[in-house]
Chain A
Amino acid sequence: MTDAGPRAVPGAGPGGAAGAPGWALLLSALLPGAGHLALGAVGRGVLLVVPWSALLGTLYWARARVFAWEHASLDDFVAAVTAAALLLVLWVGALRDLAGRHVRPEPAGGDSQWVIAARQFRRHRPALAGLALIVLLYIVALLAPWLAPFDPIAQHDIARTSYLSPSATHWLGTDKFGRDILSRIIFGARISLSIGFIATAISVTIGTLIGAVAGYFGGKVDAVLMRGTDLVLAFPRLVLLIMIVALFSPSIPVIILVLGLTQWPGTTRIVRGDVLSLREREYVQAARALGMSRTRIILRHLVPNVLAPVIVTATLGIGNTIVMEASLSFLGLGVQGPTPAWGSMVAEGRDNLLGAWWVATFPGLIIVAVVLAFYLGGDGLRDALDPRLRSA
């Protein structure tokens, strides 16, 4: 939409020529992070070595599936690309960091507000932990076909495999149909996370545009748009969702659309409020005085400046959407079996909560953990992006 994203990150410029000795670079080229460890930078070394080893370990462990070309599906292709990209990032990152360790070139430009916010965010430990969990989950979701020990859908000999309690083979046990809970959670992560992400992206885009247009133009435009927004907001959301999903058969695209199309009013209200105050700011007046078009003023001067609260609501919104999707699935209106989704897994476990507690408990816990992670991350973002907390 705009190009006001992060710019020149300090230190990410061309690495200095003089840096760590050649042998350390060579070490790091073989095993990213080894060079750091050899030079005594233990923290960074571990941060590089561990993910690298974990990735290689995964590849080794899942080698049979990784190289099963004849059955390769889109899932496998996605996993392969993800793994390759991650390895490349770690490898290049290690070398660049090592080469530039002693000579941090002065950044050419100044620090944008995004860079300052990132610096602030790094100090917020709970938010960092939340972010780490989110990143880990996304990687797990992308590598799902290699990581999941069993097929999440296939049912085998139900008589022998149903309701097995957690064991060395089935770490988190099996469900009524003898399917491995861990595998289903791993595959379920793709459904839940992508629904959360895509639905929120839709709602934020709609919400921001409507809010910005209403706030900037004001008057009748504002009145019409905001009354419409209030109307959507006034509907009990769950009832609305159930109604729509009941009308159209519940498939994943329908759920994403429905969730996305009912969540935007919150964003709209925030954006409209901010734009109302921003449009009186002198830099917006200056843009008008310089003969810039309304589209340009909205997209280039207003939207980037309301993005901070929008990002925060979006992060919190992903958590909400995941809960909402889980609720729908729990009610049987969400993702339909046998496709694994966390909400429907909890619903399935409900039948036999006392006999097989693990069926509902583990998906329930992961929902709590993910939503908490998004909330922590959102909190950290709010603090980092809040200009009032910044000494500039």
Chain B
Amino acid sequence: MMPPAGGPVRTDLPPAGGRAVDDTTAPPDALLEVRDLRKHFPVRRGLFARTVGAVRAVDGVSFWVERGRTLGLVGESGSGKTTTGRTLLRLIEPPAGRARFAGQDIFAMDRRQLRQLRRRAQIVFQDPYGSLDPRMTVGDMLREVLQVHRLAAGRAREARVRQLLDIVGLSPRHAERYPHEFSGGQRQRIGIARALSVQPEFIVCDEPVSALDVSVQAQVLNLLRDLQRELKLSYLFIAHDLGVVEHISHDIAVMYLGRIVELGRAAQVIGTPCHPYTRALLSSVPTPDPVQARARIVLSGDMPSPAQPPSGSPFHPRCPPPRKDADCVRLVPPLAERAPGHFAACIKEPAWR
């Protein structure tokens, strides 16, 4: 069903692979289901700020997060992964597309429903220095959340603050300290405690360990994993480090230039990657293993600007030869099934490997 690479190609060929992800129904226990999510930022120029174009930060992504599991969203800077996470929590507005959280349409929620959502869906940020209010003690931060959502008052509130600190491995006496008195890893624990204070079911972890030293990174990753098991949490784990993502995720989505280019179970994406970008990414992860480190696929060039995305496959300008041909420049490859539950957006990749 695949034309040989380089041979004559008909442009009206059906896409390679099985059904597209958009034709696939999400499993019944999906907590979050995202369909064709788009977020374009207008580019304004000139004296009257006319809209002259758009940065297609997120350009039609579909995925789902199952209850109690982690979807790792991996990509380089500019791939749109952070925008995806924040748009889903409506921290960036307005979005386009559909997103359902526990059956409710996130993008149709009014203020009251949004407040409810924010007790169920939380976020942990990357920057351990910028994500805590420098003028509030840790205890005050947690107390404020409990007060705003009327979750606990008086002695119950104090007890809950102590409990939250304990859950993330800090001690009660840390409550009266200010953020600047903590190390990066401890601040990240505080950020996690703050997210947990509303007892959410779902947390967007936006590069939570990228700014941390290796040894501290391991502490925080282990903590996130323990919490998931104990509190039955679901994560959307956003990171640029494939090693970290593989470690924590059940499922992995690889993003490139605002699109998902590969999606599947972690073992499928890491073990049998289908998309050439995923393969290049896998091979460039720096590993402290001199033998493996020397066998890299080095991609040429940079990721194009999301303001002027290339036609066809977003990856075609950097796709290493010999696979790509004129079709890749013309056709936008659908995210189609290669193996049960394993999707890739590449027309040159044979189905059912």
Are B125 and A282 interface neighbours, CB within 8 A? Answer: yes
- Asked whether B38 is an interface residue with its Cβ less than 8 Å from the other chain, the reply is no
B115, B131, B135: which has the most chain A beta carbons within 10 Å?
B135
The residue on A at minimum CB distance from B114 is A291
Asked if B137 and A286 sit within 8 Å, CB to CB, the answer is no
A interface, size bucket: 20 to 34
- Our pick among A110, A287, A296 for the contact of B137 (Cβ within 8 Å) is A110
Q: A110-B181, A305-B134 are in contact. Are A286 and B123 (CB under 8 A)?
A: yes
Residue B263 at the chain A interface, CB threshold 8 Å:
no
Q: Are B114 and A300 in contact (CB under 8 A)?
A: no
Given A113-B135, A288-B91, do A282 and B181 touch, yes or no (CB 8 Å)?
no
Per-residue CB proximity of B182-203 to A under 8 Å, as 1/0?
0000000001001001100000
CA distance A181 to B37 in the complex (A): 77
Cβ–Cβ contact B135 & A109, under 8 A = no
Chain B positions within 8 Å of A, measured between CB atoms, are: 86, 89, 91, 114-115, 118-119, 122-123, 125-127, 130-137, 144-145, 148-149, 176-178, 180-181, 191, 194, 197-198
Chain A residues packing against B (C-beta within 8 Å): 4, 8, 108-113, 281-283, 285-293, 296, 300-301, 304-305, 392
Q: Which residues of A contact B149 (CB under 8 A)?
A: 290-291
| Contact with B131, one of A108, A283, A305 (Cβ below 8 angstroms) | A283
Query: Is B194 a contact partner of A286 (Cβ separation < 8 A)?
Result: yes
- Listed from nearest, the 3 A-B pairs whose CB atoms lie closest are A109-B176, A110-B177, A291-B118
A-B contact pairs, 23 of them (CB 8 A): A4-B135, A4-B136, A109-B176, A111-B178, A112-B135, A112-B137, A112-B178, A281-B131, A282-B130, A283-B131, A285-B131, A286-B194, A289-B89, A289-B91, A290-B118, A290-B122, A290-B145, A290-B148, A290-B197, A291-B114, A293-B148, A305-B133, A305-B134
In the complex, which of the residues B135, B181, B191 contacts A305, with contact meaning CB atoms closer than 8 Å?
B135
User: Which B residues touch A113, using CB under 8 A?
Assistant: 134-135, 178, 180
Distance A301 CA – B141 CA, assembled complex (angstroms): 10
In the complex, the answer to whether B148 meets A283 with C-beta atoms within 8 Å is: no
Known: A110-B181, A111-B178. A289 touches B123 (CB 8 A): yes
Measured in the bound complex, the distance between the Cα atoms of B141 and A304 in whole Å is 14
Distance A2 CA – B308 CA, assembled complex (angstroms) = 46
B45 CB to closest chain A CB (Å) equals 18
A289-B122, A290-B122 known; 20 new pairs, CB 8 Å cut-off, are A8-B176, A109-B137, A109-B176, A110-B137, A110-B176, A112-B135, A113-B134, A283-B131, A285-B91, A286-B125, A289-B118, A289-B123, A291-B114, A291-B119, A291-B149, A293-B148, A300-B144, A301-B133, A304-B135, A305-B135
